[in-house]
Amino acid sequence: MLDAETQAKYESLQSILRDMESVLIAYSGGVDSALLLKVAHDVLGDRALGALAASEAYAPEETQEALDVAKQMGLPLLTLETHELEDERYAENSFNRCYFCKTELFTQLEPLAREHKLHFIAYGVNKDDDGDFRPGQKAAREFGVRGPLKEAEMGKKEIRAVARMLGLPVWDKPAMACFSSRIPYGSRVDVASLQMVYKAEKYLREQGFRQLRVRHHDKIARIEVERSEIPRLVEEQMSRNVTDALRKIGYAYVTVDLLGYRTGSLNESFFKKKKAMNEG
């Protein structure tokens, strides 16, 4: 059962999607886009399609899991490949990298929406995303891409609650983001760096760490796990095993972030610099 406020937001989401009449959902397999696609399909039937983009910036296991989840839920899905790394503006990794990523995605989704005669394109931005630096939202506005979850004022808590009620297998899936988000702004994004992050995070997940990031500072790996998991990570044998494994991947030094896992931690220094410039 949903509480009254969450139920009202869920009904608002249904109404928003119903008014859209037809929509192509940018689907990643995470809880936000999965819920959006599920509710859109419930409301609009075959007038709602999902589109999953494969890219070198995401783990192949994540792509396959997203396909499996959609199949399990009986949700119609188109697949495509994006090539954001071929855009030098993306690869140079400025503060608005995500703008160029979303521009590439939406550029490819537009003809798909036209081909299938779908009125709108939508993606899984939600109310909680307002608190972080999200240049991808600028691209969405320019392309006229809708954010029905945000329009319904749904944050992550409500999204997970509704997803759980509807039986989505990803209702409690940890937040995911492309591997480029692990690389500090100004450090070039290339396939070699993305592969190092992928292998490092894959190893840590195999050790049982669920919510994590490996921030890539050239030859330094800065590991973020939930604060409750830090004692297990720094236990003597585990820390030795993790260090050995990540050194084999190519890192010279392996560190642990004492503040633990948090989304957008690489944005923290950006906002500090911005604030200092404004005060100067």
Q: Which CATH number do you get for residue 36? A: 3.40.50.620
Is residue 37 located within the same domain as residue 108? Answer: yes
Known catalytic residues are 178
Would 16 be classed as within a structural domain?
A: yes
pLDDT bin (cut points 50, 70, 90) of residue 277 is: very low
Is residue 183 located within the same domain as residue 211? Answer: yes
Mean pLDDT of the chain: 93
Q: What is the per-residue pLDDT for 132?
A: 63
Would 171 be classed as within a structural domain?
A: no
**Of the candidates 118, 116, 113, 109, the residue with the CA atom closest to the CA atom of residue 140:** 109
Would 280 be classed as within a structural domain?
A: no
Instruction: Kindly report, residue by residue over 22-73, the tens digit of the pLDDT.
Output: 999 999 999 999 999 999 999 999 999 999 999 989 999 999 999 999 999 9
CB 93 within 8 A of CB 180: yes
Is residue 197 located within the same domain as residue 143? Answer: no
Higher per-residue confidence, 261 vs 271: 261
Domain count of the chain?
2
Higher per-residue confidence, 34 vs 134: 34
Is residue 134 located within the same domain as residue 192? Answer: no
Is residue 113 located within the same domain as residue 227? Answer: no
Instruction: Kindly report, residue by residue over 210-257, the tens digit of the pLDDT.
Output: 999 999 999 999 999 999 999 999 999 999 999 999 999 999 999 999
Q: What is the per-residue pLDDT for 278?
A: 41
Share of the chain above pLDDT 90, in %: 86
Burial 168-179 (b: 16+ CB within 10 A, else e): bebbebeebebb
Is residue 134 located within the same domain as residue 17? Answer: yes
Query: What are the CA-CA distances from residue 189 to residues 77, 82, 92, 94, 196 (Å)?
Result: 29, 15, 6, 10, 11
Structural domain for 216, as ranges = 179-268
